Structure 1
Amino acid sequence: MAYDALVARLDDGLDPVRFGAFPDGSVDDYYRLRDGESTVTSRPSFADAILAGRDSFTLEHVVTEAGGQAVNAARQAAALGDDTVLAGHLDHPLFEFDFETVSMGDPARVRVCLFDADDVMFVEESADLADWSAADLRAALDDVDAFLERDALCCTNWASVPGLGTALRTVAASDPDGGVFCLDPGPLSAGQANGLLGALTPLGDAYDVVVSVNDDEARRLAAAAGGDGRPTDPKALEAVRTAANAAGVVVHGADAAVASTAEGRVSVPTLDVSRGLTETGAGDRFSAGLARSLAAGWAWDLAVAMGNACAAHYVAGAGTGGVDDLRAHVDANRS
């Protein structure tokens, strides 16, 4: 079992890798939605209230946190002891970490409406992020080439960063001596899925590209690659992997994480945990655990299990897990 092997690996401790994440960042305000004296706990109940004519709700503030996909991934890698550099949009006092950061402008503002499942996010975009380009990354870093040649890179939020397509082609043209390049695109539209596959194709000649997606994102990419759109269908995932010139495509779903790789198909069940405050940010922690483990030379099943462990620890409300946290968590929840 992959989780038995993961516990044994975590018992031995981890050798750090050089990890980088870019380019987003957000200030995330979490709220509960109230309808009079009652808390609205689901999307259907919210929709029912609106259809019934309710036109006024109350937002009850819960917490404000540093967010953004790259930020979440960097926090996970740092918690595992990796040498971490975050290049994001971090111009806000909330972004103070004990690892290296550089800022490229103002973060987005995200209001997360907490439901029992499937939180809803309302995003106020950052103009700096909307205008971002590879030139901003180069200007922010003392040595952008060294950053691009880190053992593992997490590049995130394709859906909200229009300049990423051109930037990835610029990176590929520079022919870096790349390691693992994990692309976690965020909530793709159908049109964005085609652009993403086109931008990843040249990048695969410089990196071991890994595409990390949820079910909805996988469905859109599969449709763009000519598949039937079922998110974990073997032929559909392999079509995405081929179109993206990727080493692997991983779908982190509710019941299992499924990967299509050059070595074959891998499936690792998720850890069964009770949900804490939110699942928002769990996928980013999955991507970080996956990418840093592949960069450390781990087999695919073990790396996918590590991603699942990072996500499950966060979903359970235990925060971003370090090595000892994850070992205990997996040991307690493996079947």
Structure 2
Amino acid sequence: MAYADLLARLRAGLDPVTVGAFPDGSVDDYYRLRDGATTVASREAFATAITAGRDSFQLAHVRTEAGGQAVNAARQAAALGDDVTLIGHLDHPAFDADFGFETASMGAPARVRVCLFDADDVMFVEESADLSAWTFADLRTVLAEPVADFLERDALCCTNWASTPGLGDAMHEIAARDPDGGVFCVDPGPLTTAGARNLLDALRPLGDAYEVVVSVNEDEASRLAAATDGGASEDPTAAGTLDAVRSAAGATGVVVHGTAAAVAATPAGRTAVPTLDVSRALTETGAGDRFSAALARSLADGWEWDLAVAAGNACASHYVTGAGTATPATLADHVATHRPT
């Protein structure tokens, strides 16, 4: 069983790998939505109130934190003991605290307002002009190390395609440099079908330089499936569907982190690892980024796919419980408590 093997690995100690994360960043404000004295606890309740004619709600601030997909991924890899460099959009006082790993900023972050619901949060995003205008040259300019060294880290977490129009050209430039790359894990964020098609086109050239891994949720997997020759599928995790996405991307693997299980299409076939049964605390926002980081660093360390997927599941669920970003010790306790019997 993957979780038993994961627990043994965690207790034996992890071998550090080198990880790079880029290019986004955001300042995340979390709110509860109130209708008078009543907390609006679900999307359905919100929709019902809107449909009934309610046109005014109150936002009760809960907390503000430095976030973004690349930031969350970097935090997770660093917490697991890896050598991390984050190149993001971090020009805001929220990012002034010492992360404990190397960072460099390419401009102002996005501003995200997260409306907390019991089951599925909603995000309202104020885009960053710096991120919208980002190019690979911005990354080269701020790097403290040679660009080849960054591109040849054991794992790269490339995030937020949806908010970064320059990533397509950047991927082509990276591929043209022909680095001796490791794992290139892409967590694209919310996709349109057109965006999914462009992403698949941009990923294909990277396959000659990296083990390309696409890490998505079920909705994003559906968008990618719709962009392939096979078209949309009722089950985005079906073997044929994921294989079609993997082929269209020229990827080594495609992983869908779903509610009940994470499913991967790999060179050895389809593998599925059930998620850990945990109770949600404040939010699930950021859990998928931690999944991708754990997946990428585990594959870079030479782990088998089912074990790497289990590590992703475990880090995501650890965060969902409100326990924060997992370290090897806290993750081992978490797996021991919640693994399937």
How would you bin the TM-score normalised by the shorter chain?
A: over 0.9
User: Residue type matched to 1:114 in 2?
Assistant: L
User: Structure 2 residue aligned with 1:267, among 261, 267, 272?
Assistant: 272
Q: State the distance in 1 between where 2:290 and 2:247 align.
A: 25
Report percent identity of matched pairs: 73
Q: State the distance in 1 between where 2:54 and 2:9 align.
A: 53
Aligned residues: 335
- The reply on whether 1:223 has 2:226 as its aligned counterpart is yes
Q: State the distance in 2 between where 1:205 and 1:244 align.
A: 12
Q: In structure 1, what is the equivalent of residue 5 of structure 2? A: 5
Q: State the distance in 1 between where 2:91 and 2:100 align.
A: 16
- The reply on whether 1:207 has 2:210 as its aligned counterpart is yes
Q: In structure 1, what is the equivalent of residue 165 of structure 2? A: 162
- Following superposition, the deviation at residue 226 of structure 1 comes to 2.4
- Following superposition, the deviation at residue 225 of structure 1 comes to 1.1
DSSP 3-state at the match of 1:94:
helix
User: Residue type matched to 1:91 in 2?
Assistant: D
Q: In structure 2, what is the equivalent of residue 284 of structure 1? A: 289
Q: In structure 2, what is the equivalent of residue 32 of structure 1? A: 32
Q: State the distance in 1 between where 2:176 and 2:79 align.
A: 33
Aligned pairs for 1:181-192 within 5 A: 181-192=184-195
- Following superposition, the deviation at residue 88 of structure 1 comes to 0.1
Aligned pairs for 1:127-142 within 5 A: 127-142=129-144
DSSP 3-state at the match of 1:292:
helix
Q: In structure 1, what is the equivalent of residue 200 of structure 2? A: 197
Q: State the distance in 2 between where 1:245 and 1:154 align.
A: 17
Q: In structure 1, what is the equivalent of residue 244 of structure 2? A: 239
Q: In structure 2, what is the equivalent of residue 71 of structure 1? A: 71
Q: State the distance in 1 between where 2:30 and 2:18 align.
A: 32
Q: State the distance in 2 between where 1:148 and 1:165 align.
A: 16
Q: Which runs of 4+ in 1 moved over 6 A?
A: none
Q: In structure 1, what is the equivalent of residue 102 of structure 2? A: 100
DSSP 3-state at the match of 1:265:
strand
Deviation readout 1:134-190 (Å, 9 max, x if unpaired)? 000100103211111000000000000000000000000010010000000000011
Q: In structure 2, what is the equivalent of residue 59 of structure 1? A: 59
Q: In structure 2, what is the equivalent of residue 304 of structure 1? A: 309
Deviation readout 1:269-314 (Å, 9 max, x if unpaired)? 0000000100000000000000000000000000000000000000
User: Residue type matched to 1:168 in 2?
Assistant: M
Q: State the distance in 2 between where 1:238 and 1:15 align.
A: 31
User: Residue type matched to 1:189 in 2?
Assistant: T
DSSP 3-state at the match of 2:31:
strand
Farther-moved stretch of structure 1 (73-82 vs 142-151): 142-151
Taking only aligned residues, the RMSD between alpha carbons, in angstroms, comes to: 0.6
Q: In structure 2, what is the equivalent of residue 153 of structure 1? A: 156
Q: State the distance in 2 between where 1:192 and 1:18 align.
A: 30
Q: State the distance in 1 between where 2:11 and 2:100 align.
A: 24
User: Residue type matched to 2:119 in 1?
Assistant: A
Q: State the distance in 2 between where 1:43 and 1:83 align.
A: 40
Q: In structure 2, what is the equivalent of residue 111 of structure 1? A: 113
Q: State the distance in 2 between where 1:93 and 1:146 align.
A: 29
- The reply on whether 1:89 has 2:101 as its aligned counterpart is no
Deviation readout 1:79-117 (Å, 9 max, x if unpaired)? 001000000000012223111000000000000000001
Q: In structure 2, what is the equivalent of residue 250 of structure 1? A: 255
